[in-house]
Chain A
Amino acid sequence: MRKLLIHSALTLFAVLFILPFYWTFLSAVKSTAELYQFPPVFWPAEWHFENFAASWGKLPFNTFLWNSTIVVVLSTIGQLISSSLVAFGFARYRFPGRDGLFILLLATMMIPWDVKMIPLYMEFNYLGWINTLKPLIVPSYFADAFFVFMLRQFIMTIPLEIDEAARMDGASSFDIYWRIHLPLMMPALILVGTIHFMNAWNDYLGPLIFLNDQSKYTLTLGLALFKNPHDVDITAVAAITTLLCLPPLVLFFFAQRYIMEGAVGSAVKG
């Protein structure tokens, strides 16, 4: 009975979470008439899968996809390298003021992005980076406080004796980071990579502020072009949104084992 209750509750929540996705997908493949029909249609009479290709072709989405890919791939690489390096430093080096510096780093998490928006714009404008992809990529090479915290906690579960054994084997500090810690950190790195990938892929405000030309737009900005003060192309918005959901979903599917491990943390690490 208890099991039945739990499973019923879980099924209910699963339906609640899946429903918006299903509704978006339905909106993408319905005919225009069914789109506005009331009561709503949950199983279209005709499935218009051609809406996906048609919506993709309405605007230069190949360019947007290319821009998004560049931003996401380069910034994820940067985030993984920089955050893991900084975390390694905080976890393994003893230097005066280390703990104070770490608290300062964590404190930066409390500053909302909206507060930093204008200073960042001024800074990037000064550097001549406005209307380029650089403001969306380069900051990722300077580590993120949350990821540094997460990776540091993970590194601290790796016995120090392994570092010492490597040092006696002739490894430099960078060797220890690169050959020992990075491979051991893989579950945590996959978690960091996945979270950052999703953030960068879904980012709307950053591209909106720093990009002007349509040729530089990312997918999220491109999607917003379907909406203007007079009209919204609901089918196109739903079709492109459905397509935009696919890469994070696929990534999550492959990375979920590591994400769960990372979330459970060091408590169960053998």
Chain B
Amino acid sequence: MAPVEIKGLKKSFGSHPVLKGIDLDIRDGEFVCFLGPSGCGKSTLLRLIAGLEDPTAGQILLGGRDVTDVPSAKRNIAMVFQSYALYPHMSVRKNMAFGLSLNGMARAEIERRVAAAAQILQITDLLDRKPKQLSGGQRQRVAIGRAIVREPVLFLLDEPLSNLDAGLRVSMRVELAALHERLKTTMIYVTHDQVEAMTLSSRVVVLDKGTVSQFGTPLELFYRPANLFVAGFIGSPKMNFFATPSRGTAAREITVSGEGFRNSVTVGLSEDMSCPAGTALTLGVRPDAISIVSAGSGHLSARVDLVERLGTESHVHLSLVETGQRVTAIVRGTHPVQAGEETDIRFDPAHCHLFDAAGKALPRALDSETLGLIEREKQARTAHATKEETHG
């Protein structure tokens, strides 16, 4: 087990910068996800930590040791690849033992480790099969087994579940969480699936265009996104944004209103902020903080374009009458709204976010229940990591 420190890490391919200076401090025993859209640099960052790419600048420290120029084989890191990357001509047993035998480990010890990993992953009866005789889920287990037997200080997982079908992905996700709980090794997991990131990780690194947009616990990302990108990326359907200049400030609150707004919206802040009237701000409202109300009684008038009925909830896609902007709302499954209707939408100010002209979030006030939840999650993560350090 080892903490991972990344300092000023940059990577360019030719003249194209992929990572523009990454600083991260991952604690011992943490399960951290790198989350971001395609091309944001998350896989490149993982490959740099693995030693499969050389950084253009910066440092990578593993357990306090600078490993920036250390070959990947000597970093004591194991990686699980998206395509599993099993050796097709070797049996499962040989796949798992390959790295150990290369390092000259005694045969008895290799067999002990392979048997132990196979038992954890419930693949003991598959040990003599070739990869082509295995299903996708079984191959994934073997790939994880190959990583486990090496008893590395750090696991790197590059979108390991993306090739599995939806059902298997959910069960493998649960197994991965259990595996982390059991092995208590630092794990870094790359994904573009926010559900995986939110459910598995103790902390999530949200990457955008080669920079860290936010590094925090899943609930922090959801309830206190640091900027417009994180606010738009975390949560499905996406947060709705409205250009709403400031109409004035009071103690720990800002009132905003935009084009077509029938009423202004007053958003609570966690601290006093000076924001003169007319300052460009963006109002962010998650779909579940929007209600559909009768015409004339909400903040904005809208036309219902489409209603997606999912059972327990319905996703309502609307166009604002004044600006034509698209808005998504989540209502209860039995809500009678229908496509083609003219209606009004109303925002719940307690669940609204504000962002300045640079896209940076203003510190919003949270209710005590949400604050308590975030705090409990933080404490659980800290306690877990501290426990790992004590074990280590």
Measured in the bound complex, the distance between the Cα atoms of B95 and A179 in whole Å is 12
* Complex contact B79–A165 (CB within 8 A): yes
* Complex contact A175–B87 (CB within 8 A): no
* Complex contact B73–A167 (CB within 8 A): yes
Which residue in chain B gives the minimum CB-CB distance to A158? B88
A176 shortest CB reach to chain B, Å? 10
Does B166 sit at the interface, judged by CB under 8 A? Answer: no
Does B187 sit at the interface, judged by CB under 8 A? Answer: no
Does A168 sit at the interface, judged by CB under 8 A? Answer: yes
Does A161 sit at the interface, judged by CB under 8 A? Answer: yes
* Complex contact A164–B81 (CB within 8 A): yes
Task: State the main secondary structure of chain A at its contact with B.
Answer: helix
A178-196 near B? 1/0 per residue, CB < 8 Å: 0110011000000000000
Binding-face segment, B96-104, B217-225, B279-287, B328-336: B96-104
Known: A169-B102, A171-B73, A175-B102. A180 touches B87 (CB 8 A): yes
Taking a contact as CB atoms closer than 8 A, the residue among A159, A175, A179, A270 that contacts B85 in the complex is A159
A93 shortest CB reach to chain B, Å? 15
Does B45 sit at the interface, judged by CB under 8 A? Answer: no
* Complex contact B73–A169 (CB within 8 A): yes
Known: A161-B81, A270-B132. A168 touches B73 (CB 8 A): yes
Known: A159-B83, A161-B81, A161-B83. A169 touches B89 (CB 8 A): no
Known: A161-B85, A162-B87, A165-B85. A171 touches B79 (CB 8 A): no
Residues of B within 8 A of A169 (CB): 73, 98-99, 102, 146, 150
Does B50 sit at the interface, judged by CB under 8 A? Answer: yes
Does A97 sit at the interface, judged by CB under 8 A? Answer: no
Interface residues on chain A, number (Cβ under 8 Å): 17
Measured in the bound complex, the distance between the Cα atoms of B81 and A10 in whole Å is 48
Interface residues on chain B, number (Cβ under 8 Å): 23
Does B190 sit at the interface, judged by CB under 8 A? Answer: no
Taking a contact as CB atoms closer than 8 A, the residue among A161, A170, A183 that contacts B102 in the complex is A170
Residues of A within 8 A of B88 (CB): 162, 184
Residues of B within 8 A of A171 (CB): 73, 98-99, 102
Does A86 sit at the interface, judged by CB under 8 A? Answer: no
Measured in the bound complex, the distance between the Cα atoms of B99 and A166 in whole Å is 7
Measured in the bound complex, the distance between the Cα atoms of B390 and A130 in whole Å is 75
Taking a contact as CB atoms closer than 8 A, the residue among B78, B87, B132 that contacts A166 in the complex is B87
Residues of B within 8 A of A165 (CB): 79, 81, 85-87, 146
Which residue in chain B gives the minimum CB-CB distance to A164? B52
Cβ contacts A to B, 22 pairs, < 8 Å:
A162-B88, A164-B50, A165-B79, A165-B81, A165-B85, A165-B87, A166-B87, A167-B52, A168-B50, A168-B52, A168-B77, A168-B78, A168-B79, A169-B102, A169-B150, A170-B73, A171-B73, A171-B98, A171-B102, A175-B102, A179-B98, A184-B88
Q: Which residues of A contact B (CB under 8 A)?
A: 159, 161-162, 164-171, 175, 179-180, 183-184, 270
Sorted nearest first, the 9 A-B pairs with minimum C-beta distance are A169-B99, A161-B85, A165-B85, A170-B73, A183-B89, A170-B102, A161-B81, A162-B85, A168-B72
